[in-house]
Structure 1
Amino acid sequence: MAEALDWLILEDDMDAATRARFDAWLAASEGNARAYQRVRDAWQSPLLPVAAARLERKRGQAMVQPLRRQHRFWKPVATAAALVLAIGIVVQGDLLTRLRADHLTAVGERQKVQLADGSNVLLNTNTAFSSRVDDQQRVARLYRGEAFFDVAHDRSRPFEVEAGPVQVTVRGTAFAVRYLGNEAEVSVQRGEVDLRTRLDDARVSLGAGDSIRVGPQGFGERQHGTEAESQLAWVKGRMVFENCPMSQVLAELRRYYPGWIVNTNERLDNVSVTGNWRLDDPLGVARSLAQITSAELHEYPKLLILN
């Protein structure tokens, strides 16, 4: 991919000898050809003008000495290409999800959706969701992220939610579904829900206060009480932990912070954390975590480092 990016940057200004070397590289393997096509697709991404404009602003702020014309031109272009290449690969990998989803939330964003049958859905951070509600069916699909459903009661049309390895069926209740990686989790606030694994058709029913995880190996252990309450805290805009290892807390916090959170001290991973914080202030949560664990927090634009 790095070689393909180099060739892309040179493409418009190749002399005959450079063109011959490029053609030889392209023909050397199918992997080279695929890499080059992928780089070209990323280069044509609509995110390119955004990346280039951002880099140009930073270059203008940082440049204090004149550079040669060639360096002034190629350095920001090469950097923009590398940035867009990285973004483009992620976008391409996520393209199918984006095409399928009716609603998408950004990192740290929550969104309320009302369906045609009167059911209400609250989408959590970085969530992709679609639904189809008509006279015959009520079906929702959670492609990633987390959603809370307050379902309008209808005896004739059950409400179904598909999320990775699990299918949830209800007629009128309130519950949340979380789907991250290859694991789903269902937490019930009110009423009853029926769950079915899509792999082996195993079935479980949950009541109010219950939660359960579903992975590639099937159902996990049913939880009741404080565990389920913690899983539903985000609905009220809170992040709640009780005696959770720091590594788990940081993994959850990263879902809401629009940047990177890095822990450079492995000893912090197993420190037990209890707390109740606001979701809309992830920086404040990180500062609080640093204080209660006696860690140092270094803050940079879009980057927090704990040590």
Structure 2
Amino acid sequence: MTQDTLSEAEYDAITDAAAHWCMRLHAADCTEEERRAFTQWHDAHPLHAFEYEAMLEIWDVAEHLPRPESAPLVPLQQPSRSLRQYAIAAGVCALALPLAAYTGWNLGWVPDSYEHLRATDNVRQVTLSDGSQIELNLNTDLTFSNYKDERRVTLKKGEVFFNVSHDASHPFVVRAGEGNIRVTGTRFNVWLYEDQVRVNLIEGSVLVTSNRALPGDGLRLGSSMQARYKPGDYMPQISQTYPNDTSLAWRNGKLVLDNLALNEALPLINRYLDRPLMLADNSTGSIRVGGIYNIKELNNLANSLPKVLPVYLTRNKEGNPVINPMPQQPPKS
């Protein structure tokens, strides 16, 4: 089956399947067998992946729509036609029908603009629809929605530098991990790695909360301050940054490791690697590494480590490189 010979019925069938998989993969009772079947379907044809990504775009917007308390829950086990109609209806209500969109905008339910942005192999600079400027590090994925009462970024993975257009009546909120970063206009950096978040403030002020389900606006950061949080943190951890801080060197395509222990350096390195580097044990993590590296060439770093550090590499059963300390020579008698 090739894309230029598909009939309307075949296109409809693919759209049906994409809506079905979008619903099933978001369902709590989705099984591993279903996930394997989805992967097989997703990889079978480029149009499958395209249609599924389109359904995810609809889902991302529709999930912000409030459900009336009296509305019945939609059953997850429905025929694919009903699933398709549900997904498309959510998208139409959110993005297409002028009256519904106008009403939804006034109530703060529906954005008047929506963007899904990615950076893969290059640092990317983007001006958002509100005039804010952002820079995306490699392997970054986010969405931007402009609501009546707030501008909202959802950082799915990666790292972003924000230069937010000032608007005191229209705050700019970044959702990262389980927390929020809330501003009206300022310059700051957010890095989401696995389930941990780091916020570096360059100019202005931001409010950081580690759990948006908790009451309150969070802790306020001033210039040259940093906040970190992870799931389960009641409050972010706050610290000061220094003039020689190199955490934003990625904006110039560089990673600077200033004599860091490997257990601190690996999260900075692994975000750029196809296969993450692992440590053989805790003692290996205390070995220190330094240097300035091109972020596009970090996949070559693993093979170079034994040349500069007392280590050697093996591979674990998943195929990831493992850093092992070189055995110490026994003392001569």
TM range (shorter): 0.5 to 0.7
Judge conservation of contact 1:131–1:140 (CA < 8 Å) in 2.
Answer: yes
Does structure 2 conserve the Cα–Cα contact (< 8 Å) formed by 1:213 and 1:219? no
Map 1:241-260 onto structure 2 (within 5 A). 241-260=257-276
The structural deviation recorded for 1:274 is 3.0
User: Matches of 2:31 and 2:238 in 1, distance apart?
Assistant: 46
Partner of 1:140: 153
2:143 aligned partner: 130
Partner of 1:170: 183
3-state SS of 1:281 partner: helix
1:44 aligns with 2:44: no
CA distance in 1, matches of 2:44, 2:189: 37
1:131 to partner: Cα distance: 0.8
- 1:232 aligned residue: 248
User: CA 1:98–1:297 in 2, change beyond 3 Å: closer, same or farther?
Assistant: farther
- Deviation string, structure 1 residues 17-51 (Cα, Å, up to 9, x no partner): xxxxxxxxxxxxxxxx9554443333222x2469x
Deviation at 1:174, TM superposition (A): 0.7
Give aligned pairs, total: 229
SS in 2 for 1:218: coil
Tell me the distance in 1 between the aligned counterparts of 2:175 and 2:282. 37
**Identical-residue share of aligned pairs (%):** 24
**Structure 2 CA distance for partners of 1:227 and 1:252, relative to 1, 3 Å:** farther
SS in 2 for 1:229: coil
1:219 maps to which of 204, 229, 235: 235
Per-residue deviation at 1:234?
2.0
Deviation at 1:244, TM superposition (A): 2.2
Provide runs of 4+ in structure 1 moved above 6 Å.
none
Amino acid at match of 2:247: Q
Q: Which deviates the most, 134-143 or 259-268?
A: 259-268
Matched, 1:278 2:294: yes
SS at match of 2:38: helix
Alignment CA distance shift 1:37-1:221 (3 Å): closer
Q: CA deviation at 1:201?
A: 3.1
Q: 1:267 to 1:214 in 2, by over 3 A?
A: closer
Distance 1:36-1:260 versus aligned 2 partners, 3 A rule: same
Would you say the 8 A contact 1:138–1:157 is kept in 2? yes
1:108-155 Cα distance to aligned partner (Å, 9 max, x none):
543222101211111223222111126653221112222111111223
Q: Say which structure is richer in helix.
A: 1
CA RMSD of aligned residues (A): 3.5
Change (3 A) 1:236 1:189: farther
Query: 1:205 is matched with which residue?
Result: 220
Alignment of 1:51-70 (within 5 A): none
| SS of 2:237 mapped into structure 1 | coil
User: What is the TM-score when the length of structure 1 is the normalising length?
Assistant: 0.62
Distance, in Å, in 2 between the alignment partners of 1:160 and 1:37 is 35
TM-score of the pair, normalised by structure 2 = 0.58
Equivalent AA in structure 2 for residue 103 of structure 1: L
What letter corresponds to residue 186 of structure 1 in structure 2?
A: V
Instruction: Determine helix, strand or coil for the equivalent of 2:174.
Output: strand
Q: Which residue in 1 is equivalent to 2:170? A: 157
Indicate the residue corresponding to 1:59 in structure 2: none
Give yes or no for contact 1:245–1:273 (8 Å, CA) kept in 2: yes
Looking at structure 2, the residues matched to 191 and 240 of structure 1 have their Cα atoms a distance apart, in angstroms, of 25
Q: Which runs of 5+ in 2 are unaligned?
A: 1-29, 61-114, 325-333
* Most deviating of 229-238 and 258-267: 258-267
Provide the C-alpha distance between the structure 2 equivalents of 1:289 and 1:208, rounded to a whole number of angstroms.
36
Q: Which structure is higher in RCO with an 8 Å CA cutoff and minimum separation 6?
A: 1
Cα distance change, pair 305–129 in 1 and its aligned pair in 2 (3 A): same
- In the alignment, does 2:205 pair up with 1:189? no
Partner SS, residue 251 of structure 2: helix
Deviation larger for 157-166 or 225-234: 225-234
Q: Of the candidates 96, 115, 118, which is equivalent to residue 104 of structure 1?
A: 118
For the residue of structure 2 that corresponds to 1:102, the secondary structure is strand
User: Per-residue deviation at 1:97?
Assistant: 8.8
Structure 1 position 158, deviation (Å): 1.8
The 3 A distance-change label for structure 1 pair 264 and 162 is closer
Rounded to whole Å, the distance in 1 between the matches of 2:38 and 2:303 is 40
SS at match of 2:255: strand
- The one-letter code sitting in structure 1 at the alignment partner of 2:176 is A
